[in-house]
């Protein structure tokens, strides 16, 4: 019992607070249990038919078989409506799953009690005992993702037969055998659940590592904003999106003024600090969800802006230029002033225009800003 309590505590710690993890466990639970749902629909007729039990006890046969079939049909509908139910309420979906599963377990449990202790079921006693073993072990395997419910389901399946064996004196051997089997299969369930949780944690860790690798693949290592490769991908996506919705797409191409002199006079480490400082300010200015700040290469940065007219992009560029001019970066207690030149271009994307045209226009504007004295914003005019 101590092991079971510890395991339930481990399960609670694993799944209580993460909705996405709960959903994954629930969907795994549903997938693992559906084979059993189909088997339950046809199992009792298969037990009754070879022994002509349906002829000896037509009423009992009909009641049990139809009960199992009806519950299986309801569980089938539950599965079909999973997407809608789960979106509406995960707890409602989960409670319906538990309720229908326990209905199956209670029906089978009643059948097991009758089969073992009611003389009318004597012709099928041996096949029933085989069914008890198969169904109990199958239920444990299917419900491992939720070990607490797994043990409740197992208890509903077997404990009524064990209690009936205690009450009926001449059936004590059956009670003893079922008690041993219950303890054995419960321990297997606990052990399997430990392995399931362990493998689940490993899978989550691998997912986290994969996400981190993906993040590193699109983040510039120095400035911690997006890199050129990710910018190229997002430019194409936003180009297609803006083309469909007839939106404008603007690009700010930003170059740090006299950056070579900063490196030559103060060293590359201070130059790196300068780039980190500039990237942080660009990220602060490009704060909308659709804005994309990235390091374009060397001392050049880009800010991609969706759904802005050209004059709006120019205003954003001027805000950025002014903020950088008035925010010297600090290294070892010393302040170092820095300015940027910015080229701005805006286009109404179309399938007839290559997305690289936007970069070319912004580059032309940046060239003019640098050759007109730097620390300027120049907007390209088509």
Summarised one tens digit per residue, pLDDT across range 221-233 is: 899 999 999 999 9
Q: Are residues 251 and 162 in the same domain?
A: no
Residue 359 lies in a domain: yes
Same domain, 76 and 176: yes
Highest mean pLDDT among 94-108, 179-193, 206-220: 94-108
Helices of type H across 168-227? 172-218
Same domain, 65 and 188: yes
Confidence of residue 256 (pLDDT cuts 50, 70, 90): very high
Minimum mean pLDDT among 117-121, 290-294, 361-365: which range?
117-121
Q: Which of 161, 190, 213 is the last residue of a domain?
A: 213
Task: Verify that 186 and 283 share a domain, yes or no.
Answer: no
Listed residues 187, 213, 239: the one ending a domain: 213
Of 11, 175, 299, 300, catalytic: 299
Provide Rg for the chain, Cα atoms.
Answer: 34
Least confident of 123-127, 175-179, 324-328: 123-127
- Please state, for a pLDDT cut of 90, what percent of the chain lies above it: 41
User: What's the CATH number where 328 sits?
Assistant: 3.30.70.270
Question: What are the tokens at 163?
Answer: 């209690």
**Cα separation of 331 and 200, whole Å?**
46
Torsion on CA atoms 251, 252, 253, 254, rounded to nearest 10: -160
Residue at 219 is within a domain? no
- Residue 21 pLDDT: 79
Identify whether residues 87 and 41 lie together within a single domain: yes
Banded pLDDT at 9 (limits 50, 70, 90)? very low
* Residue 220 in domain: no
- Clarify whether residues 265 and 205 are in a common domain: no
Average pLDDT over residues 6-24: 59
Query: Do the beta carbons of residue 101 and residue 33 sit within 8 Å?
Result: yes
Sign of CA dihedral 269, 270, 275, 281: positive
Q: Can you read off the two tokens belonging to residue 88? A: 């509406």
- Does residue 338 carry a pLDDT above 90? yes
Residues 203, 210: Cα–Cα separation, whole Å:
10
Tell me: pLDDT of 369 over 60. yes
Q: Inform me whether the pLDDT recorded for 117 exceeds 60.
A: yes
SS3 333: coil
Residue 123 lies in a domain: yes
Higher pLDDT, 117 or 31: 31
List the structure tokens of 218. Answer: 């699109």
Average pLDDT score over residue span 179-207: 85
pLDDT value at residue 51: 64
Which element (helix H / strand E) includes 273?
A: helix 268-285
Confidence of residue 281 (pLDDT cuts 50, 70, 90): very high
Q: Cα–Cα distance between 218 and 220 in angstroms, integer? A: 7
Q: What is the pLDDT of residue 119?
A: 75
| Angle in degrees, CA 90, 94, 95, rounded to 5 | 120
The answer, yes or no, to whether residue 174 has pLDDT greater than 50, is yes
Section 263-276 average pLDDT: 91
Specify whether 55 is located in the same domain as 102. Answer: yes
Q: Is residue 247 part of a domain?
A: yes
Mean pLDDT of 346-360: 91
Is 222 part of any domain?
no
Q: How confident is the model at residue 286 (pLDDT cuts 50, 70, 90)?
A: confident
**Residue 129 pLDDT more than 80?**
no
Claim to verify: residue 286 and residue 171 sit in the same structural domain = no
Q: What pLDDT is recorded for position 3?
A: 42
48 and 93: one domain? yes
- Going by DSSP bridges, is the β-strand pair 292-297/300-306 parallel, antiparallel, or unpaired? antiparallel
Query: Can you give the residue range of the structural domain that contains 312?
Result: 228-379
Total domains in the chain come to 2
- Of 170, 189, 213, which residue sits at a domain end? 213
CA–CA separation, 161 vs 154, rounded Å? 12
- 292-297 and 377-379 beta bridge pairing: unpaired
pLDDT for the residue numbered 48: 67
Q: Give residue 307's pLDDT band: very low, low, confident or very high (50, 70, 90).
A: confident
Instruction: Establish if 108 belongs to a structural domain.
Output: yes
Shared domain for 197 and 310, answered yes or no, is no
Residue-level pLDDT at 171: 65
Mean pLDDT of 4-33: 67
The pair of structure tokens assigned to 112 is 């097991």
User: Are both 184 and 325 inside the same structural domain?
Assistant: no
**CA 164, 168, 173 angle in degrees (round to 5)?**
85
Distance (Å, whole) CA 291 – CA 51: 73
Six-digit token string for 115: 């089969």
Q: Among 202-206, 215-219, 312-316, which range has the highest average pLDDT?
A: 312-316
Joined together, the tokens standing for residue 96 give 């319906």
195 an active-site residue? no
Residue 74 lies in a domain: yes
Q: What percent of the chain has pLDDT over 70?
A: 91
For residues 255-290, b (16+ Cβ closer than 10 Å) or e, as one string?
Answer: bbbebeebbeeeeeebbebbbebbbebbbebbeeee
Same-domain status, 71 and 145: yes
């Amino acid at each position: 019992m101590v092991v079971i309590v510890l395991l339930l505590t481990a399960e609670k710690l694993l799944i209580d607070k993460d909705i996405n993890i709960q959903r994954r466990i629930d969907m795994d639970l549903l997938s693992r249990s559906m084979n059993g749902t189909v088997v339950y629909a046809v199992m009792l007729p298969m037990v009754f038919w070879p022994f002509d039990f349906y002829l000896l006890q037509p009423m009992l046969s009909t009641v049990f078989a139809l009960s199992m079939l009806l519950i299986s049909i309801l569980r089938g509908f539950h599965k079909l409506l999973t997407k809608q139910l789960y979106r509406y309420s995960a707890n409602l979906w989960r409670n319906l799953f538990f309720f229908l599963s326990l209905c199956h377990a209670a029906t089978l449990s009643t059948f097991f009690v009758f089969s073992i202790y009611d003389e009318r079921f004597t012709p099928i006693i041996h096949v029933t005992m085989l069914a008890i073993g198969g169904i109990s072990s199958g239920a444990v395997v299917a419900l491992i993702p939720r070990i607490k419910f797994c043990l409740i389901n197992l208890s509903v399946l077997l404990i009524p037969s064990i209690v009936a064996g205690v009450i009926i004196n001449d059936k004590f051997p059956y009670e003893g055998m079922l008690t041993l089997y219950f303890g054995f299969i419960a321990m297997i369930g606990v052990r399997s659940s430990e392995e399931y949780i362990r493998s689940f944690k490993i899978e989550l860790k691998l997912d986290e590592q994969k996400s981190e690798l993906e993040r590193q693949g699109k983040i510039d290592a120095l400035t911690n904003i997006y890199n050129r490769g990710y910018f190229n991908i997002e430019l194409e996506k936003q180009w297609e999106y803006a083309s469909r919705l007839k939106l404008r797409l603007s690009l700010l191409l930003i170059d740090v003024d006299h950056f070579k002199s900063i490196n030559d006079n103060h060293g590359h480490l201070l130059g790196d600090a300068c780039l980190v400082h500039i990237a942080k300010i660009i990220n602060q200015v490009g704060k909308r969800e659709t804005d994309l700040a990235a390091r374009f290469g060397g001392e050049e940065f880009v800010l991609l802006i969706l759904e802005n007219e050209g004059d709006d992009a120019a205003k954003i560029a001027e805000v950025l230029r002014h903020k950088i001019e008035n925010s010297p970066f600090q290294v070892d207690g010393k302040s170092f002033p820095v300015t940027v030149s910015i080229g701005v271009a805006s286009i109404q994307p179309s399938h007839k225009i290559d997305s690289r045209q936007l970069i070319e226009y912004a580059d032309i504007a940046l060239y003019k800003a640098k050759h007109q004295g730097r620390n300027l914003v120049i907007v390209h005019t088509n």
